[in-house]
Structure 1
Amino acid sequence: MVPLHDDERAELLRLREEVAALRKAPPRRRRTPNWRAAGAAVLITLGCLLAPLSLLTVWVHNQVSNTDRFVATMSPLIEQPSVQAAVTDRVTGTIFGYVDVQAYANQAVDALAAQGLSPVLADRLHSLTGPLASSLQGFVHDQVSTLVASPQVRAVWDQALRGGHEQLNAVMSGNASAIGIAGDKVQLDLGPLITAAKQRLAANGFTAVNAVPDVHPTLAVGDAATLIKARSAYNTLDTVATWLPWVTLVLLAAGVYLARNHRRALLNTGFGIAAGMVVIAVALFVVRGVLISNVPSRSAAPAADSYDLIVRFLRDGLRLAFVVGLLIGIGAFLAGPSVTAVRLRAGASRLIAWLRRGGAKAGLRTGKVGGWVHDHRTVLRVVAVGLAVLVFIFLSPPSGLAALVIALVLLGCLGVIQFLDQPPAERADQPTSAT
């Protein structure tokens, strides 16, 4: 047998000790599923799926039940050139659908001919009725266009939007006294209309209407089943829009709390919310294309402008939620142990240290301030983050750009705290002056 060298003998003894220790160790228990981690994953997934749905629900609810938001959304439509042109064409076409100028002119010429107008002159006048009708139609079109573009129309437009939306809310909530159900039909109470008509006619001298008693005739305006379904959908939407955002927040908070790795849970939550907003944004773009492709070419421009105006508040909400989710995810990533995050933090620390050394060479000393900041650095960081959150919450209206600016300002504040932070070892090397 070949004798062992000292190093080989030492290695053999070490291996024997390890084997003996493994034999004495208790048997490893079978790893059981971590239900807490699984529950956290389920809660965070549900919350991320419900986040875009919550945003959509709140937006739809605001358009349906919030009259001020509805008017704010729809009011700018009348200012769009393409919409103004479409309204002008529609109004002009409607007017001349009831007023046949050329027929009226021909009737006037025929009446003159019956009174003794010479046939030659009558024929010449008949030949002018076509150009006359065309010129008059152009004149009316120009007048309607000027009217539609005037500020007075904007006021009338807003008033009509507000009145119509308020009545719609009253009908959908079941609080409209003018709407009732009799049998299988929706009945419109014409009593208020009769009263208003009586007052107007009496004011104009037709006092005979005062003999009409206070009656309430009705008019069937639709199917009762349709209204009942609409009211049910309205009430459901009102409930969902009230509670779904809070349910989403509770699910996400519970998921992060239950997770073993809170930082990773925050990372997944932030990027999950951002991804959901991207999906909704892509869906809006697809719907816009489908909408425009299904309308006549002459209506494409006003349809596109109308769609963009209607969904602009939804897009603002999408941008805000996307930026907030992205900031949460990036913040959780930068606080993690990955190589990239560690290098970025180390680079920022080196940059701040370089700036501190440069300031020291220039005669800048933190003195007692640096020591105080070092002793309270955690509290200062928490206060900075808390102030940033409060500013964002009370900002009206919040936006994605505002969230990004607040995040950059917060990073600057944290950098200043890091710059002023002076450990005791560094204070011992500096003079005691505090300038």
Structure 2
Amino acid sequence: MSDPHEPGPPGPGPQGAPGPGGPAERATSGHGSMAVRIARRTASAVLIVLTCVLVPVALLATWVHDIALDTDRYVATVAPLATEPAVQDAAVHRIAEAVDVHVNGQQAAADIAAWLQKEGLPPRAANALKSLGPQLDAAADQAVTRIATRVVDSGVFDTVWKDANRLAHNAVVHALTGKGRGAVGVSDGTVTLDLGTAVDRVKQELVDAGLTPAEKIPQVDKQFVLFQSDQLAKARKGAHLLDVIGNWLPAVVVLIGAGGVLLARGRRRALARTALGAAFACLVVAIGLVVARRYYLDHLPPEVQSKAAAAAVFDTLLRFLRVSLRTAIVLGVVVALGAYFIGPGRLPVAVRGTSERTADAAARWAAGHQVRTGRVGTWAQTYRRAITLVVLLVVALVFALWNHPTVLTVLLLVLVLLAVLAVLALLAAGGRVGLGERHTHAAGEGRH
């Protein structure tokens, strides 16, 4: 069978001149077809490469738009940190520093010893009492730490943490986009949380416990450094751009990838290459995040009091992005495997053949036990390709509409897809068996 796009046989023109199908026109048409094929291959390659590069960028843009610059989602993301042991320890340390009660243990012990000595206490006992000054200082510090720990472990700190993060995040959004409140809480790339409410609560509990010097604690710095980056101010343009494109970039990337696959000569292979290329790009970015985390923790400025707390904050803020990258990697591998197993390779053909034979055997066994699919089986066999395509589109739509899908989401949808295809294969096999029985019965009646 000839290709409809190939030029037709030559035909004679008037007075024996070459007709429209002559050698000259065929050569021109051949060159034109070659140019079109080269242009399509080039465009397909460019679009596929662009898709692979833009997939992690789209995930980053979504993270910036949905988490990094959305105050409500940001607060919901970091809220669990209020119960993170490393963050709680750092908060206790900072609150204890802020409400440090300067009890002059030496002076207090000397005054008590002098008074008791006037009342007849022996000099040796008075000297021993004077040596208790350091113990009095330590007792005050222990009281502060104990009460600060109780406050941090209570529900008070959870509220303080959320409110402080909300205020600080508004400042970060303003620093990065120019929107929202002023840059209170952001200075030279350092993002701080105001723990004033927790500090005041600890001071009041110290006074209630009888440590009256706590009343004289002045208004001191109550800031808790959340994270610090010299690049915060420099990232303003990039953050604003990612925020703007965060809504529609993923859809654009999908359209670019679809265009690259449709323009390719071998669409199945192009789909597999696109999926694997995007998965590889996401893997590179995921490795880059691991390296960036190590570099950040190894170069913490002195303003960040706790490395463990900084690690917890870093991991929490980037959790959605890392989950998205892992999901994209698994999805890319799954799509590539799907494209491979519908191809003409020896292994895919063997797998499909084994599946069909297993389905036929199950259908014959069921028919032998008077279990038949009837018209449903015939319909499934007739429209199997169309049904499969509809199922694939439905699964793809569910994944696209899933709110923040994860690796488990991908695996769940794959299992659902395989289960539906298995049921479809069994129904189609039942239809084939039923059709064969009807043909056999008709042939038997014809002989009689």
> Shared topology, TM-score over 0.5?
yes
CA distance in 2, matches of 1:250, 1:343: 33
- Aligned 8 A contact 1:371 1:427 in 2: no
Distance in 1 separating the partners of 2:46 and 2:245: 21
Match of residue 143 from structure 1: 147
> Which residue does 2:308 correspond to in 1?
301
Aligned to 1:75: 79
Alignment of 1:165-204 (within 5 A): 165-170=169-174, 172-175=176-179
Q: Is the Cα–Cα contact under 8 Å of residues 367 and 427 in structure 1 kept in the other structure?
A: no
Q: Which residue of 2 aligns with 1:290?
A: 295
- Structure 2 counterpart of 1:394: 401
Compared with structure 1, are the counterparts of its residues 116 and 398 closer, same or farther at alpha carbon in structure 2 (3 Å cutoff)? closer
Q: 1:64 to 1:418 in 2, by over 3 A?
A: closer
* Deviation (angstroms), 1:66: 0.4
Structure 2: distance between partners of 1:348 and 1:56: 40
The letter for the 2-side match of 1:142 is: R
Residues 406 and 113 of structure 1, relative CA distance in 2, 3 Å threshold: closer
What is the correspondence of 1:272-287 to structure 2 with a 5 Å cutoff?
Answer: 272-287=277-292
Shift of residue 418, structure 1, vs aligned partner: 1.7
Query: Does residue 253 in structure 1 map to residue 258 in structure 2?
Result: yes
The one-letter code sitting in structure 2 at the alignment partner of 1:337 is: P
* Counterpart among 381, 385, 397 of residue 374 in structure 1: 381
Asked if the contact 2:58/2:246 (under 8 Å) is kept, the reply is yes
**Following TM superposition, by how much is the alpha carbon of 1:108 offset from its aligned partner in structure 2, in angstroms?**
3.9
Shift of 1:233: 4.4
> Taking structure 1 as reference, are residues 430 and 417 closer, same or farther at Cα in structure 2, changes over 3 Å only?
farther
Question: SS state of the match for residue 331, structure 1?
Answer: helix
Q: Which residue of the other structure, out of 309, 319, 335, is the alignment partner of 2:342? A: 335
Q: Report the Cα distance in structure 2 between the residues aligned to 1:293 and 1:174, rounded to whole angstroms.
A: 31
What's the TM-score once normalised by structure 1's chain length?
Answer: 0.72
Moved more, 339-348 or 57-66: 57-66
Percent of paired sites with the same residue:
34
| Equivalent of 1:90 in 87, 94, 104 | 94
Q: Which residue is 1:428 aligned to?
A: 438
Q: 1:127 & 1:41 partners in 2: Cα distance? A: 82
Q: Which amino acid aligns with 2:355?
A: A
Q: C-alpha root-mean-square deviation of aligned residues, in Å?
A: 3.4
Structure 1 residue 52, shift from structure 2 partner: 0.9
Matched residue of 1:139: which SS? Answer: helix
Distance 1:109 1:148, change over 3 A: same
Conserved in 1, the CA contact under 8 Å of 2:67 and 2:73? yes
CA deviations 1:265-295 (Å, max 9, x no partner) are 1111111122122222222222333334445
Q: Which amino acid aligns with 1:59?
A: W
Map residues 45-124 of structure 1 onto 2, 5 A cutoff: 45-96=49-100, 99-101=101-103, 104-109=104-109, 118=118, 120=123, 123-124=127-128
For 1:173 and 1:286, the matched residues in 2 are separated by 27
Given candidates 418, 425, 431, the residue that maps to 1:411 is: 418
SS in 2 for 1:336: coil
Q: Contact between 2:109 and 2:132, CA under 8 Å: does it hold in 1? A: no
Distance 1:145 1:262, change over 3 A: same
Of 333, 336, 343 in structure 2, the residue corresponding to residue 326 of structure 1 is 333
Aligned residue pairs total 359
Cα offset, 1:114, TM superposition: 8.4
Quote the offset at 1:61 in angstroms. 3.4
Name 1:155's counterpart in structure 2.
159
In structure 2, the CA distance between the partners of 1:243 and 1:113, relative to structure 1 (3 Å rule), is same
